Structures are given as C-alpha cells and as structure tokens.
Amino acid sequence: MDSIIKLIIKWSGKEYELELTESETVSDLKNTIHKKTCVRPERQKLLNLKFKGKAPDDECRLSQLKLKPGFKIMMMGSLEEDIAEVNTTPIDIPEVVNDLDIEEDEIAIENREEYLAKIDKRIKDYDVKILNQPREGKNLLVLDIDYTLFDHRSVAETGAELMRPYLHEFLTAAYEDYDIVIWSATGMKWIDEKMKLLGVTNNPNYKIMFHLDSLAMISVHIPKYGVMQVKPLGVIWGKFKQYSHKNTIMFDDIRRNFIMNPKNGLKIRPFRQAHFNRSKDEELLHLSKYLKYLAKNCNDFSSINHRHWEGKCL
Ligand SMILES: [Mg+2]
C-alpha cells in the first residue's frame, strides 16, 4: 500500500501542512508546496531536505528520503509577485559567473547619458523605506548579500549556518564610522527575510539604514557580455546628498555590480560552501580593518585603488 506522509513546510514565519504519498516524488512535493504557498518550484530552496547528504533530485521518491511523520521542511524562496519586474534580473546568479575584469569599458559605461537617465528615474521613482535614520558625518557602506554575507546555495538547517563568519563583528565595527545599506539583486521580502534570519535586523550593536532590492538596479549594455543588471551608487547619492564618491564604499562578490562606480567598489572573495569554509573564512575580519583604514586616512575613497586593499590593513 502507498502510505501517506504528513509534512510541514516552514516558510517566511508560517507553517503549512502537506499530505503526500510515499510513491510521490520531490517534484510532486514542490508542486504541492507551490499550491500552498504560491512559491514556484524553481524558486524553492528546501533547506533541510536531503538524500545522501545532498539536496535530492526532483525524480527522487519521498520513500527514499525516509522522512519522519510531521517532518518540518525549512524553505527559502520568493514569490513571483515580489520579483515582478525581474524577468531580466539574475535572481539566481549562476554558479559560474562571467565576471568582468574590464577596465577600459568601465569609464565609458559609467558616464553614458542613457544610464544617467535611468539612474535619475530610480532616484525619482524608487521608494526607499528607511529603517534607521542617517547619522551626521558618517561614511556610507553598501553591502551585497549573496556570497558576500551569506552562502545562499548550500543546504543547512538554519540560516546561521550559512552566515559568513564574523558578520556581526564586522557590522558592529563598520557601524562606528559608516551608515550601512544592504543591496541585493532579489526581491525586498526576501531581503527582509534573510536579514532577519541572520540576526541582522534586530541586532543591538548596529543598525542598518535601509535595504535596496532589484528594482533599484538598472540594466546596462556591456559590449562583451550583453545586457546586465547593475547597482549604481548614483541612486543612493541622488537621494541622500551627504553621501558621494568621496565617502562611499561598496562590497560585492561580483565586479559588474559596481561597473557604474568602479572606483567606489571593492570585489570581495565570494563565501561559498559554507560548511567547508566556515572555519577558515576571515574575509570580513580583514575588511573591517580596511574600513577603519579608509575612515581614518582617506578623504576621497575613489582616489584609492581598492584592488590592493589587503596591503592596507595587515
Ligand atoms: Mg553576491
């Protein structure tokens, strides 16, 4: 007989009960989750669903997973409506990224009229929800999430397991000299959720000024790579005049994200394979020293070549 399995999906602070049969597959499970939560199968990350230590294939039968009755599956995933405009946005940046190391193209792209017009449009139309007010005399730090603060691809029971080491120490130290903005190429609900999961949102030791999502990005055409979504700092500078190229730095694991502001971006090493690298990764520890160095010694952040950041903070 095909016996029934009852499961619980935990997503976005809520729990959903499901009933499936043992002969159904992971693909059937995802479709059932879709019906309950409206999160499409391809957007579902079932964090603790494992077969032989890895995320199971869609064809895998539920009987093979040996799930206990009432097993609680932790899901991450965003709703289609949250990522409305994003048909062209890389929600899930491919594992192998064609990252750019093009310097000759950068200047040309940075000043192109049509891109400046797009930035103006974002300044006017994009609604920033301030979480904490800007502070007098602070610099600005803009941070990517995926692979910068968080390994969003590995499988884990809790978000904390995927957090980059020293995250809270890093943000605490940075907050002394910088107002902090989180900017991720996903939807806002998803960003809010991740920041809660990581314990950033309500951390007593620092405050995030605001979050920006994919809708604050613009698309640019890069001759060698085609049309790509990028994060122009001009959107923030246009809305908050106290920040500029002189006092802003952006950390991202993908260089093209700051192609509009190459002199104010620092490409960090991506944090991947959290389980393997958690005990070794010290990137944030070193970067917090670099932030101190900039705050103390530099009147114009764009005058320094951030590619050589490590030499400045040993
Ligand atoms: Mg990233």
Distance (Å) from CA 187 to ligand 1 centroid: 14
Q: Are residues 191 and 239 in the same domain?
A: yes
Q: Are residues 39 and 177 in the same domain?
A: no
CATH number at residue 71: 3.10.20.90
Distance (Å) from CA 249 to ligand 1 centroid: 15
> In this predicted structure, what is the pLDDT of residue 239?
97
Residue after which a domain boundary falls, among 62, 78, 94: 78
Q: Lowest-pLDDT range, 109-113, 144-148, 189-193?
A: 109-113
Q: Are residues 216 and 261 in the same domain?
A: yes
Q: How far apart are CA 279 and CA 231, in angstroms?
A: 31
Question: How does pLDDT run across 56-67, given as a tens digit for each residue?
Answer: 999 999 999 998
Q: Is there a domain that residue 153 lies in?
A: yes
Q: Are residues 74 and 118 in the same domain?
A: no
Question: How does pLDDT run across 251-295, given as a tens digit for each residue?
Answer: 999 998 999 999 999 999 999 888 888 889 999 999 999 999 999
Distance (Å) from CA 153 to ligand 1 centroid: 11
Distance (Å) from CA 147 to ligand 1 centroid: 5
Q: Are residues 182 and 68 in the same domain?
A: no
Residue after which a domain boundary falls, among 32, 63, 78: 78
> In this predicted structure, what is the pLDDT of residue 87?
34
> In this predicted structure, what is the pLDDT of residue 86?
33
Residue after which a domain boundary falls, among 57, 78, 99: 78
Distance (Å) from CA 58 to ligand 1 centroid: 26
Q: Are residues 176 and 302 in the same domain?
A: yes
Range of the domain at 157: 113-313
User: What's the chain's average pLDDT?
Assistant: 87
pLDDT bracket for residue 105 (50, 70, 90): low
Q: Are residues 123 and 66 in the same domain?
A: no
Distance (Å) from CA 35 to ligand 1 centroid: 30
Q: Is there a domain that residue 94 lies in?
A: no
Q: Are residues 60 and 8 in the same domain?
A: yes
Q: Is there a domain that residue 140 lies in?
A: yes
Query: Is the pLDDT confidence value at 93 over 70?
Result: no
Distance (Å) from CA 85 to ligand 1 centroid: 19
Q: Is there a domain that residue 84 lies in?
A: no
Q: Are residues 174 and 72 in the same domain?
A: no
Distance (Å) from CA 163 to ligand 1 centroid: 13
Number of neighbouring beta carbons within 10 Å of residue 74? 19
Q: Are residues 12 and 161 in the same domain?
A: no
Q: Which of 151-155, 186-190, 241-245 holds the top average pLDDT?
A: 241-245
Section 152-176 average pLDDT: 87
Give the contacts of 17 (CB within 8 A, at least 6 positions apart). Answer: 6, 7, 8
Query: Is the pLDDT confidence value at 170 over 80?
Result: yes
Q: Is there a domain that residue 107 lies in?
A: no
Q: Is there a domain that residue 104 lies in?
A: no
Q: How far apart are CA 258 and CA 109, in angstroms?
A: 11
Query: Is the pLDDT confidence value at 145 over 60?
Result: yes
Count of domains forming the chain: 2
Q: Is there a domain that residue 91 lies in?
A: no
Q: What is the pTM of this model?
A: 0.69
Distance (Å) from CA 109 to ligand 1 centroid: 21
Distance (Å) from CA 225 to ligand 1 centroid: 18
Q: Is there a domain that residue 308 lies in?
A: yes
Q: Are residues 67 and 173 in the same domain?
A: no
CATH number at residue 300: 3.40.50.1000
Distance (Å) from CA 95 to ligand 1 centroid: 11
User: What is the DSSP secondary-structure string of the chain?
Assistant: ---EEEEEEEETTEEEEEEEETTSBHHHHHHHHHHHH---GGG-EETT--BTTBPPPTT-BHHHHTPPTTEEEEEE---GGGGTTGGGS-SS--SS------SHHHHHHHH-HHHHHHHHHHHHH-----SS---TT-EEEEE--BTTTB-SSS--SSGGGGBPTTHHHHHHHHHTTEEEEEE-SS-HHHHHHHHHHTT-TT-TT--EEEEE-GGG-EEEEETTTEEEEE--THHHHHH-TT--TTTEEEEES-GGGGTTSGGGEEEPPP---HHHHTTT--HHHHHHHHHHHHHHH-S-GGGS-GGGGGGG--
Q: Are residues 125 and 222 in the same domain?
A: yes
Section 69-91 average pLDDT: 61
Question: How does pLDDT run across 221-241, given as a tens digit for each residue?
Answer: 877 778 889 999 999 999 999
> In this predicted structure, what is the pLDDT of residue 94?
46
Query: Is the pLDDT confidence value at 182 over 60?
Result: yes
